[in-house]
Amino acid sequence: MLHNDNLEQWDRENFFHASTHLAEFARGNIPQRVIKTASGVHIEDRDGNRMLDAFAGLYCVNVGYGRPEIAEAIADQAKELAYYHSYVGHGTEASITLAKMVMDRAPDHMSKVYFGQSGSDANETNIKLIWYYNNILGRPKKKKIISRWRGYHGSGLMTGSLTGLDLFHKKFDLPLAQVIHTEAPFYFQRKDLGQSESEFVAHCVAELEAMIHAEGADTIAAFIGEPVLGTGGIVPPPAGYWPAIQEVLDRHDILLVADEVVTGFGRLGTMFGSDHYGMRPDLITIAKGLTSAYAPLSGSIVSDKMWAVLEKGTDENGPIGHGWTYSAHPIGAAAGVANLELIDKLGLVENAGTVGTYLNTQMRAALTDHPHVGDVRGEGMLCAVEFVADKDSRSFYDAADKIGPQIAGKLLEQSNVIARAMPQGDILGFAPPFCLTKDEADQVVTATHQAVASVL
Ligand code: PLP
């Protein structure tokens, strides 16, 4: 059944693809790509084309593909206990073990982890916990959430609102009223302000302060941000950004949610991005790297400070009214345990740091001087190349030129390397599995250089 010759036809007739131009797909202008097998950093489609996946799926297959240790842990768990829920004190050996492993790795001031399925539902959980927290503290007005333009936090109703990208709002009646957006720390795109990097940090902080002043600190519950902006363009923050933001939030008693769906479990070369940037979050969102996407599982890590209030809340109101059927799913948890063990055993966090730095250095060396490359930036195993129409005036291409997608297309066509054309702007993103070798990094850089040369 799975090997049927009619797959392509069935695909067009039945399958509603995520984040896809539906009409162009129906017209046959978007290639169908049926991925069949994968190993290490390579995936293969059913026509036998082998591709180097320099975006690790959707920056999630952190340990690389085809790891038997994780596959076997999943199979063993499915045979022993495919499912039991986590309501009313129930757990499984896998979910309790994984909770212990996550908390052993989390910053010291964190208390417990709640498991969900996806990054989106983990952020939905976070916002509910924040509202619950302020209700228990008798602050019913303190509910608004500040997010950043270009932040990405999911595509649910609340999380799609937190996301600061037009595409995810347009025609969906989002963002919801409780969400407000502030300046992103995207220094390269705001060089028009004529500020030094530290002046730009001061500008972002001043914007935040002004927003808090205008709205009233007693109406603002939390600030959410990715340590490094991901889907919004792979943008490491300018030096000093997070400590300065943290100081403002602390002063106004506003909680910080570190959305570490991309950065959690090693992508920056440290276990968490919060460690890397000196953030002190009240909640940490985890997903992708928790299981390296071998099974869907996410989590909300809750601080000691919030936990004390949540416990008090249940004394006053009864059991917490929040749960998914698949919270702490044992198969996901078994995948998570095997994944975190493998990361330790193979030293993959260190590898993400060293090979990631190598990839960034080589990419910078190869492309910085190109007349249409405006910026090459990254941190750990995250790297981005941003294209400009004119370097001196730093003017951008028209969106209709589709420079990012064109270059990603060439990269695949010429060299079988997968990078991601980021959804807003002409930005090519790289987020390879942590097991990438220096030779493979060189291959990615050479291929990118050739693709850029053939388009621009
Ligand atoms: N948060 C961040 C930072 C993400 O990058 C993503 C997905 O890319 C999400 C949340 C949403 O995760 P999911 O797609 O698993 O719902």
d(CA 342, CA 351): 13
Ligand 1 test: best mutation among 288, 292, 294, 420, most atoms within 8 Å of CB? 288
- The arithmetic mean of pLDDT across residues 44-56, rounded, is 97
Query: Can you name the residues that pair with 255 across neighbouring β-strands?
Result: 222
Longest C-alpha distance within the chain, in Å? 65
Query: pLDDT tier at 2 (50, 70, 90 boundaries)?
Result: confident
CA of 110 to the centre of ligand 1 (A): 21
pLDDT value of residue 248: 98
351: left (phi over 0), alpha (psi -120 to 50) or beta: alpha
CB of 259 closer than 6 angstroms to any ligand 1 atom = yes
The C-alpha R_g of the chain, in whole angstroms, comes to 22
Task: Give the total residue count for the chain.
Answer: 456
Q: At what angle do helices 68-80 and 330-346 cross, to 10 degrees?
A: 150
Q: Give the position of tokens 């333009």.
A: 149
b/e 380-414 (16+ beta carbons within 10 angstroms → b): bbbbbbbbbbeeeeeebbeeeeebbebbbebbbee
CB of 261 closer than 6 angstroms to any ligand 1 atom = yes
Average pLDDT along the chain: 97
Contact assessment for residue 211 and residue 204, using Cβ atoms and an 8 Å cutoff: no
d(CA 359, CA 420): 16
Ligand 1 test: best mutation among 118, 155, 228, 261, most atoms within 8 Å of CB? 261
**Which atom in ligand 1 lies closest to the alpha carbon of residue 156?**
16
- In tens, the pLDDT along 358-409 reads 999 999 999 999 999 999 999 999 999 999 999 988 899 998 889 999 999 9
d(CA 102, CA 122): 15
Q: Is the pLDDT reported for residue 1 higher than 80?
A: no
51 SS3 class: strand
Q: Is the pLDDT reported for residue 4 higher than 90?
A: no
What ipTM does the predicted assembly reach? Answer: 0.99
- The arithmetic mean of pLDDT across residues 214-230, rounded, is 98
Query: Can you name the residues that pair with 52 across neighbouring β-strands?
Result: 42, 417
Question: 99: Cβ–Cβ under 8 A, 6 or more apart, which residues?
Answer: 112, 113, 115, 328
pTM value is 0.98
Contact assessment for residue 425 and residue 375, using Cβ atoms and an 8 Å cutoff: no
Token pair, residue 249, equals 């939030």
d(CA 418, CA 409): 9
Token pair, residue 399, equals 């969106």
Token pair, residue 380, equals 């750990």
Q: One-letter amino acid identity for 152?
A: Y
Task: Output the residue whose Cα is nearest ligand 1's atom 10.
Answer: 153
- In tens, the pLDDT along 111-150 reads 999 999 999 999 999 999 999 999 999 999 999 999 999 9
- The arithmetic mean of pLDDT across residues 200-208, rounded, is 98
CB of 267 closer than 6 angstroms to any ligand 1 atom = no
